[in-house]
């Protein structure tokens, strides 16, 4: 039954993504292209086929441990990209029978990449994955940088970055298509989570999916974002896929300032049919949801920026995140 269900899902995914490729061949007038319609449609097809051809559960990942005894549950996933590259991802399926599909969250790392030391996931991502998994959700952590031989881009000027937001949006789109094809994942309850550069990537993907929809795109149940960069989106008055959106910002953030996102959220909220929640935390800098003390960084593109946690904002923002997932992905058990 397991294999039959997987084959059925893969056949359907390949069919709809092939149709998406045909749709993408036609030009769209007046659209801002983020990576190109043909490229992302091909990516959907590659991701769907990769989900079918490769084992759903590959070898356990020893370099991405989770807290406690569940470390062995982490698995490596390889997701085909339209460029021909292979996107490495860390995959932690929800526990329970495959006959009961569960919600899933794809989490997009910031400009510092996924890892702290060696190949060990940073505390933020280990903690987030454990929290989501304890609530009954599957978790996918795509590694946009490590897959391309990079660790961090925080100190690289935006114009000099090889892995741009547009490139990462293609990664995220392929990751969502891969997730939707997995047995045990409820394709109607997939959420997207991002921090900083990953949050900016998520917003750009929501714009891309609005400009270039395809039958192979499963609707997102929601997107939760910590301190994205909203300036370019605001300037072009971007229209996003109408998924529920939670944006959480630090009032003192001088790396990705809050005001452009406040203005962009207000713009979105004025449009009919939108579901946008905005939270701005006083006395909070970039990374306020973490546990590191506030420090001044001089290795960032805009000169110097403060970064670090705010204990009160951390508690409040994680509670808001839990409530958002509970509303968009379904009832959950608190960790």
Q: What's the pLDDT at 302?
A: 63
In a domain, 334, yes or no: no
Contacts for 87 with CB less than 8 Å, ≥ 6 apart: 78, 79, 80, 81, 142, 143, 144, 147, 171, 174, 175
Coil, strand, or helix at residue 86? strand
pLDDT, tens digit, 9 for 90 and up, residues 48-88: 444 443 433 433 333 333 333 345 478 999 999 988 999 99
Separation CA 205–CA 318 (nearest Å): 23
- pLDDT (0 to 100) of residue 155: 80
Distances (CA, A) of 284 to 106, 201, 224: 26, 22, 18
pLDDT of residue 329: 97
- Residue 335 within any structural domain of the chain: no
pLDDT at position 332: 55
**Which stretches of the chain drop beneath a pLDDT of 50?**
1-70, 72, 333-335
Interacting residues of 123 by C-beta distance below 8 A, sequence separation 6+: 116, 290, 291
Provide the residue count of the chain: 335
Q: Residue 235: which CATH number?
A: 3.40.50.1820
| CA torsion angle 89 111 328 66 (round to 10) | 50
Asked whether residue 130 is domain-assigned, the answer is: yes
**247 lies in a domain?**
yes
Q: Which of 124, 111, 106, 331 is nearest to 224 (CA)?
A: 106
Res 215: pLDDT: 78
Quick one: pLDDT at residue 45?
Answer: 47
- The whole-number pLDDT of residue 303 equals 65
Residue 225 domain boundaries: 2-329
Is the residue at 105 inside a domain? yes
State the total domains in the chain.
Answer: 1
Residue 281 lies in a domain: yes
Residues 6+ apart with CB under 8 A from 257: none
Element (H, E) at 246: strand 245-250
Q: Which of 326, 253, 323 is nearest to 283 (CA)?
A: 253
Give pTM, 2 decimals. Answer: 0.80
Question: Does residue 57 sit within a domain?
Answer: yes
pLDDT of 1 reads: 39
Residue-level pLDDT at 156: 79
């Amino acid at each position: 039954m397991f294999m039959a269900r997987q084959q059925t899902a893969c056949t359907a995914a390949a069919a709809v993504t092939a149709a998406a490729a045909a749709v993408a061949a036609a030009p769209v007038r007046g659209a801002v292209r983020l990576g190109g319609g043909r490229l992302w449609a091909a990516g959907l097809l590659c991701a769907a086929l990769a989900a079918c051809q490769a084992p759903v559960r590959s070898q356990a990942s020893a370099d991405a441990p989770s807290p406690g005894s569940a470390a062995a549950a982490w698995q490596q996933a390889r997701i085909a990209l339209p460029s021909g590259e292979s996107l490495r991802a860390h995959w932690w399926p929800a526990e329970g029978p495959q006959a009961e599909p569960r919600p899933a969250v794809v989490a997009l790392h910031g400009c510092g990449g996924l890892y702290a030391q060696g190949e060990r996931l940073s505390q933020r991502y280990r903690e987030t994955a454990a929290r989501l998994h304890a609530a009954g959700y599957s978790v996918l952590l795509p590694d946009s940088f490590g897959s391309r031989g990079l660790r961090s881009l925080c100190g690289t000027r935006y114009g000099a970055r090889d892995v741009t937001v547009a490139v990462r949006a293609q990664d995220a789109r392929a990751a969502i298509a891969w997730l939707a094809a997995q047995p045990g994942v409820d394709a109607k309850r997939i959420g997207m989570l991002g921090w900083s550069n990953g949050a900016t990537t998520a917003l750009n993907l929501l714009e891309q999916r609005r400009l270039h929809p395809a039958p192979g795109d499963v609707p997102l149940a929601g997107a939760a974002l910590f301190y994205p960069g909203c300036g370019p989106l605001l300037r072009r008055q971007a229209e996003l896929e109408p998924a529920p959106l939670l944006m959480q910002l630090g009032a003192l953030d001088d790396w990705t300032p809050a005001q452009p996102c406040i203005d962009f959220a207000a713009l979105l909220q004025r449009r009919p049919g939108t579901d946008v929640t905005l939270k701005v935390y006083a006395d909070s800098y970039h990374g306020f949801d973490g546990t590191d003390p506030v420090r001044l960084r001089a290795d960032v593109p805009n000169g110097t920026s403060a970064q670090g946690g705010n204990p009160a904002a951390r508690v409040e923002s994680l509670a808001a995140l839990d409530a958002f997932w509970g509303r968009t992905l379904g009832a959950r058990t608190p960790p």
